[in-house]
Structure 1
Amino acid sequence: MSSPINYAKLFGFESVAAAGIFAALYAPLTVWFFLLLIRHRSYVVFTLVIFCQIRFVAFIIRAILAGSKTAAENLDLFIAGEVLFSVGFFGLLYGAYGLVMDRLMRSRIFFHLGLSTGVALGIVGIVETSNNTSSTIGSVFRKVSVIIFVVLTVLQAYQTVNLVIAERRGTSFGARHGALIFMLIAILLLLREIFIVATIGSTAQQNNEHLWYPLVALPELLCIILYAVPGLIPPKRSDIYNLPK
């Protein structure tokens, strides 16, 4: 009888403290955006609330996997954690794109479709490769999902540049400051995606915590902190994505 597989050790989950710290940092951010959602009632803020909740749970699962041998041998728990980390990026990227589009007033239908496709392919790929590490289909789906998110991240960065150019023509200091914050968010998102693409062929390198935390987890956290800057998200929205009151 073969011995159980320690998935945390296999995929490089080592630090309980780091995962616990990130979970603790996401807890107040979840509360902050939930309170903001009560006032704003928009899908952008809603997705940021979901993102914070997903990351909070995902880091708790990661801490459990890293700290408990029994939990680390639970394939379902491992898959749940990986799916949450994959799906969570949807909310972060949509928040950046949605807020920029609110100011540029352009359609988001194709961006929505791209995000949905990337999320779906990512989930299928994770499940396939977790059950069979040599699964060709799972590997292809994960790579396609990453490529989709890279393209959408570049698009978001491009739209942010347009926003910076447009708002620099005005005299509002707040508008100029907001555009620069969006640019910083775009840079952080691109940093995350560049690392994911650069290590797509090496699971060990991509899951190396000495690289994963500063190049994936930290940029995400800094982005969500920037979203929390007072005044960055407008108090009222007039587009069709308002949630009903």
Structure 2
Amino acid sequence: MASTSNPDINFAHLIGYHSVAAAVIFAILYIPLLGWFIFQSFRRPTYVHFVLSFFCSIRVTAFIIRAILAGSDSAGHNLNLLIADEILFGVGFFGLLYSAYTLVLDRESLVDIAPPTNIISSLTRNRKLFRLAMTAAVAIGITGSSMSQDSSPQSVNTGSTLRKISAIIFLVLTVLQAYQTCVLARMEMTSSGAYRHDNESFGMKNGIFILVAISLLLLIREAFSVATIGNLAKQNNEHFWYPLLALPEILAVVLYATPGLVPPRAELPK
């Protein structure tokens, strides 16, 4: 097994961790978002608010670790700390994607029209199946990240393969979530946006446009992740990583904070 630290190799700099300022800025930007979703979790408790609170807390932690790895030479030599940071970034996306998925299905249940009954739509609306696939992707990704840092070439190859499988599963799920968003958009246009309630908030009236934007941001994030999965140098290049992975994530979280976007639990069907 590879040593947890090596005084001769700065692992963080080796794979592309250089900018302390960028990591600190993103950590700071996530703090008010974390406070907002924690506040909403108590004021209007919903699954989406809980999960986004969890996601923001993970991102604050991950960016703080990233800043430490980029700025501290001794920390940069700690391989375990680097692996922990990579795992946090991978695990966090679970919450972001499942929040989008849950929100689309919750809003779909409020539209006064029956959803499509084709096989793809039926499978996509199966929350347990979707959650199971996401959990499998996370588990495979964590295992792959750990094995990729092993000293054995066979373990490294296996770890790289597992990371690719995890990324592909997440991309497929992200595409399915985007498809479900398109289904919701069509349902809203067919029913002229008529919901079975009188919620006139900005987020409820314009929610489908916000959800489409979130879906596009998640697709950009995952497309970049899969496109560079075989080239870690390019994937961790901060000139690409921040605008194509970190930025789409935080923009999606900002959109989630739109007032009225998340339906109150009392309005959802039992």
TM bucket, shorter chain: over 0.9
Unaligned runs of 5+ in 2: 1-5, 110-124, 195-199
**Conservation of the 8 A alpha-carbon contact between 2:46 and 2:264:** no
Any idea what the Cα deviations from partners look like across 1:8-40, whole Å, max 9, x if unmatched?
111100100000000000001000000111123
Q: 1:239 to 1:133 in 2, by over 3 A?
A: farther
Alignment of 1:77 with 2:81, yes or no, is: yes
Aligned to 1:58: 62
Superposition TM-score, scaled by structure 2 size: 0.84
> What is the aligned counterpart of 2:177 among 132, 156, 159?
156
CA distance in 2, matches of 1:219, 1:207: 16
* Equivalent position amino acid for 2:248 in 1: P
The answer to whether the 8 Å contact 1:7/1:78 transfers is yes
Q: Is 203-212 or 170-179 further displaced after alignment?
A: 170-179
CA contact (8 A) 1:164 1:176 kept: no
Letter of the aligned partner of 1:200 in structure 2?
I
Deviations 1:75-132 (A, max 9, x none): 1211111110010000000010000011224431111001100100010011111234
- Contact preservation (8 Å) 1:40, 1:235: yes
Equivalent of 2:48 in 40, 44, 47: 44
Aligned pairs for 1:108-123 (under 5 A) are 108-123=127-142
Deviation track 1:29-79 (CA, whole Å, cap 9, x = no partner) reads: 000000111123222211111100000000000000000000101112111
How many Å separate the matches in 1 of 2:63 and 2:152? Answer: 23
TM-score w.r.t. the length of structure 1 is: 0.93
| Contact map agreement 1:118 1:145 (CA 8 A) in 2 | yes
1:101 to 100, 105, 130: 105
**Residue correspondences, number:** 239
Flag the 1:24–1:46 CA change in 2: closer, same or farther, 3 A. same
What amino acid is aligned across from residue 62 of structure 2 in structure 1? A
Question: d(CA) in 2 for partners of 1:129 and 1:33?
Answer: 35
Kept in 1: contact 2:17–2:69 (CA 8 A) = yes
Counterpart in 2 of 1:131? 150
Q: 1:65 to 1:211 in 2, by over 3 A?
A: same
Structure 1 residue 178 and structure 2 residue 199: aligned? no
What is the deviation of 1:137? 1.3
Shift of residue 133, structure 1, vs aligned partner: 7.9
Distance 2:216 2:151 in 1: 35
Matched with 1:205 is 234
Distance 1:39 1:107, change over 3 A: farther
How high is the sequence identity, in percent, across the aligned residues?
54
In the alignment, structure 1 residue 193 sits paired with structure 2 residue 222: yes
Greater CA deviation, 210-219 or 107-116?
107-116
Residue in 1 that maps onto 2:252 = 223
Q: Does 1:67 align with 2:45?
A: no
Report the more deviating stretch, 115-124 or 38-47: 38-47
8 A Cα contact 1:7 1:73, kept in partner: yes
Contact 2:106–2:263 (8 Å) recurs in 1: no
| Structure of higher CA gyration radius | 2
For 1:40 and 1:73, locate their aligned partners in 2 and report how far apart those are by CA, in whole Å.
44
